[in-house]
Amino acid sequence: MKIQHSYQGSSSHRASSRKYHLRCRAADQHDVQTKPSVSQSHVNVISGYDSVVTHELRVKLGQTQREVLRGVNLKIKRGHLHMLLGPNGCGKSTLLKLLGGLIPQYEGTVQLDQPSGFVFQNPDHQVVMPTVAADVAFGLGRYTLKEEVVLSSVTSSLKLVNMQNYMYRATHTLSGGQRQRVAIAGALAENPKLLLLDELTTFLDVEDQFGVLEAVRNITHVKGDVTAIWVTHRFEELEYADSASYMQDGSIVSTGRPERIRSFLRTLGASVPQPSGK
C-alpha cells in the first residue's frame, strides 16, 4: 500500500504553511523565533562519547534583554535519555530551543550531534496530516526518495514508538499520547542523532504519559547512537532517565544519575517518588 504524499503539490503548500504557522505560534509564546527548516550552523559537531557539551551559555531575551540562561555548563553522554528538570521559568525550555537552533544569538560554546529533531509539548503543533503514515512522511517530502524508501523509513520510525499498527489510521482519532508518539516518529523519520523533547506529557493522562516515556527510552536504548533530551517538571518521570540535570534561575545546579538528582531534590524539600523498577 502506498503512502499518499499529500505534502506534494498545492495541498503541500497549505499543509506546510499550517505546520510552519503552528510551530511559530508555539515558539512565539517563549519570545523566540523559529523556521520550518532549522539551521544548526551556529554549533560545532562533536566527537567522542558525548552527544552534547555546552560551556558558559548565556542568553538574553525580550525587549528588556532579561538574562534567561546564566552560564550553563552541560555534558550529556551519547545514547542517553537525559532529563532537564526545574520550576517554570528556570530556563530549561530556552536551553532546549537553543540546542535546536531556534535561538541564534547567545554567548558561550555549543558542541552537539547533528542533525536534531525537535518535538513540541502540544502534538497539534506538529501532527497536521490526515493519516499517521502521511504525517510521519511529511518531512521526507523535501528529499527525492523512492516510495519504498519512504515506506521503510515510516514503518521503522513507527515501530520504534510502538505505533506501527496505526500506520493508516486517521490522526484525528488518536489519543493525545498516540499523537505525541506520531510526532516523535515524524522526527525520527529524518534520522536525527539528537531528539529535543519539550514537556511532551503536559497535556497527557497517566497512561499516555508513561507510554510516551517508554517509547522515547526504547528509541535511545535500541538505536544506541540517538540521544534524547527531555524537558519536564514531573519528578516521577526521572525513573525513565539515564541521567538528569536540575535547573534553577537560568543555571544548572545539579547533574548526574537519577538517584543523585532525587537526593538533591529532597534537600530542597521536594516530595520525590521512589522508583518502581520500570
pLDDT confidence of residue 32: 37
Tell me, letter by letter, the H, E, C secondary structure of 197-262: EECCCCCCCHHHHHHHHHHHHHHHHHHCCCEEEEECCCHHHHHHCCEEEEEECCEEEEEECHHHHH
Four-CA torsion 219, 220, 225, 227, nearest 10 degrees = 110
The span from the CA of 174 to the CA of 177, in Å, is 8
> In the structure grid, which three cell numbers stand for residue 123, read together?
502534538
Residue-range definition of the domain harbouring residue 218? 9-267
- Tell me: pLDDT of 53 over 60: yes
Count of C-beta atoms within a 10 Å radius of residue 131: 19
What average pLDDT does the segment 226-249 reach? 95
98 lies in some domain: yes
Long-range CB pairs of 39-43, under 8 A, 24+ apart, other chains included: 39/101, 40/100, 40/101, 40/112, 40/114, 40/115, 40/116, 42/101, 42/104, 42/110, 43/99, 43/101, 43/110, 43/111, 43/112, 43/114
pLDDT tens sequence across 82-103: 999 999 999 999 999 999 999 9
Whether 241 is covered by a domain: the verdict is yes
Q: Is residue 187 part of a domain?
A: yes
Where are the extended beta strands (E) located within 47-162? 50-61, 66-77, 81-85, 107-112, 116-119
The pLDDT value recorded for residue 2 is 54
- For 204-230, the pLDDT digits (tens) are 888 899 999 999 999 999 999 999 999
Task: Indicate the residue type of 229.
Answer: I
Task: Domain count for the chain, please give it.
Answer: 1
Distance of CA 221 to the CA centre of its chain: 16
Per the domain annotation, does 151 fall within a domain?
yes
Q: Which three cell numbers stand for residue 44?
A: 560545532
List Cβ neighbours of 249 (8 Å cut-off, separation of 6 or more).
70, 90, 91
Query: What pLDDT is attached to residue 221?
Result: 94
The HSE-up count of residue 182 (CA atoms within 13 Å, CB side) is: 32
273 inside domain? no
* Residue 276 forms part of a structural domain: no
CATH code (residue 220): 3.40.50.300
Within a domain: 34: yes
pLDDT band at 5, cuts 50/70/90?
A: very low
Residue 116 lies in a domain: yes
Range from 121-125, 166-170, 233-237 that averages highest in pLDDT: 166-170
User: Of the ranges 7-11, 41-45, 109-113, which is most confident?
Assistant: 109-113
Handedness of CA 204, 210, 213, 214 (dihedral sign): negative
